[in-house]
């Protein structure tokens, strides 16, 4: 698969002299890949994303997006982002206006814009929100509108900054399902930052763990969950499910460590000699 993002040890100095660096392992996103960036608050996740978007420029280090520096205008429309606080992202006075914001700015004709927005609204099943005013929407609805506004231009990469934080479980699941659907249907790569390890298996094929200014881990969710020391180093909580299965395995029980809830349930019931069917 083709590399679409590559980050090599970047450093950024903010105006207040705070220095944030993301070094260690290289950060790479491939075409169509689902990537999670796990790290505690203040670890540099958002700084890295803002560099990928070209909003920040590194004081040191190298970053390429689709083989070019991310500040190049040729990348417009290829990379989209859903911010942590979607209220600051939704600009239009109505949902329709907001989704139309990017296509209009990228110079599409009014008829094209109408088709793009209507198609997006149908795809995300938010027809009931079309003429609603954003500040009367629930958190989950706002998140969907923000995603619609971001992906309406069919970007190749969607970046989400703590996009699932603050949502109730149902809205989280709906958003995850929506993201996975967009990933499968469009082949759109997704990069999501989070500090909640329990959502990782549902949203990512590859996980990066950032801690103390460096990428300390790269691997699949399952590989990550088998290394509780990585979680400890990053100041995060490991998955209770994996911890349980590992403990059982260490104590001599015949179980395979898995991040799949159904599989874990089957194995535990088997140990207890209860027929799960």
Partner 1 sequence: MVRISTTIYLIDHYANNLNSPMHKASTLSRLMSAIVVLGITIFTNSALALVAEFLIILTFIAAAKLPISRLLSWALYPAFFASLFALSQIPYSLVLPIITIFKAINAALVMLFLISTTPYPELFSILSIPSKTLGNIAFLTYRFFFLFIDQTGERFTVMKARGGLAGSWKTKITNLAHFIGMLFITSFETSESMYAAMKTRGYSGSISHHKKLRQKFGKQDLMPVAFVLCILAIMVVSTFFKAWRVFM
Q: Of 36 and 82, which CB lies nearer to partner 1 in the complex structure?
A: 82
Q: Of 106 and 253, which CB lies nearer to partner 1 in the complex structure?
A: 106
Binding site for partner 1 (CB under 8 A): 50, 53, 55, 76-77, 79-81, 83, 85, 87-94, 97, 100-102, 104-106, 132-136, 149-150, 153
- The DSSP result for the chain, as a single string, is --EEEEEEEEEEE-TTS-EEEEEES-EEEETT-EEEEEE-TTSSHHHHHHHHTTSS--SEEEEEETTB-TT-GGGTTTEEEE-SSGGGT--SSSHHHHHHHHHHHTT--HHHHHHHHHHHHHHTT-GGGTT--GGGS-HHHHHHHHHHHHHTT--SEEEEESTTTT--HHHHHHHHHHHHHHHHHH--EEEEEES-GGGHHHH-SEEEEEETTEEEEEE-HHHHHT-HHHHHHHT-PPPHHHHHHHHHHHTT------S-HHHHHHHHHHHTT----
The nearest distance, CB 39 to partner 1, in angstroms, is 20
Q: Are 78 and 129 in contact (CB under 8 A)?
A: no
The nearest distance, CB 109 to partner 1, in angstroms, is 11
Q: Of 17 and 274, which CB lies nearer to partner 1 in the complex structure?
A: 17
The nearest distance, CB 276 to partner 1, in angstroms, is 47
The nearest distance, CB 216 to partner 1, in angstroms, is 28
The nearest distance, CB 29 to partner 1, in angstroms, is 16
Q: Of 91 and 271, which CB lies nearer to partner 1 in the complex structure?
A: 91
Q: Of 105 and 115, which CB lies nearer to partner 1 in the complex structure?
A: 105
Q: How many Cβ atoms sit within 10 Å of the Cβ of residue 36?
A: 25
Q: Of 97 and 205, which CB lies nearer to partner 1 in the complex structure?
A: 97
The nearest distance, CB 144 to partner 1, in angstroms, is 16
């Amino acid at each position: 698969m083709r590399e679409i993002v590559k980050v090599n040890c970047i450093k950024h100095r903010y105006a207040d002299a705070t220095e944030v660096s993301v070094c260690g392992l290289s950060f790479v996103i491939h075409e169509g890949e689902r990537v999670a960036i796990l790290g505690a608050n203040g670890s540099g996740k958002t700084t890295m994303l803002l560099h990928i978007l070209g909003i920040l420029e590194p004081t040191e280090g190298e970053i390429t997006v689709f083989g070019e520096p991310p500040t190049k205008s040729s990348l417009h429309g290829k990379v989209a982002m859903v911010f942590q606080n979607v209220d600051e992202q939704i600009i239009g006075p109505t949902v329709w206006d907001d989704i139309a914001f990017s296509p209009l700015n990228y110079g599409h004709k009014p008829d094209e814009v109408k088709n793009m927005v209507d198609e997006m609204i149908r795809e995300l099943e938010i027809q009931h929100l079309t003429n609603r005013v954003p500040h009367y929407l629930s958190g989950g609805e706002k998140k969907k509108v923000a995603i619609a506004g971001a992906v309406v231009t069919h970007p190749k990469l969607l970046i989400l900054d703590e996009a699932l934080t603050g949502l109730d479980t149902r809205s989280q699941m709906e958003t995850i399902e929506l993201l996975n659907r967009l990933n499968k249907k469009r082949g759109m790569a997704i990069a999501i930052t989070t500090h909640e390890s329990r959502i990782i298996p549902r949203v990512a094929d590859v996980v990066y763990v950032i801690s103390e200014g460096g990428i300390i881990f790269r691997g699949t969710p399952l590989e990550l969950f088998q290394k509780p020391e990585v979680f400890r180093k990053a100041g995060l909580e490991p998955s209770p499910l994996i911890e349980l299965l590992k403990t059982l395995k260490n104590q001599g029980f015949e179980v395979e460590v898995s991040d799949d809830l159904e599989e874990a349930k089957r194995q535990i019931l088997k140990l207890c000699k209860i027929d799960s069917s």
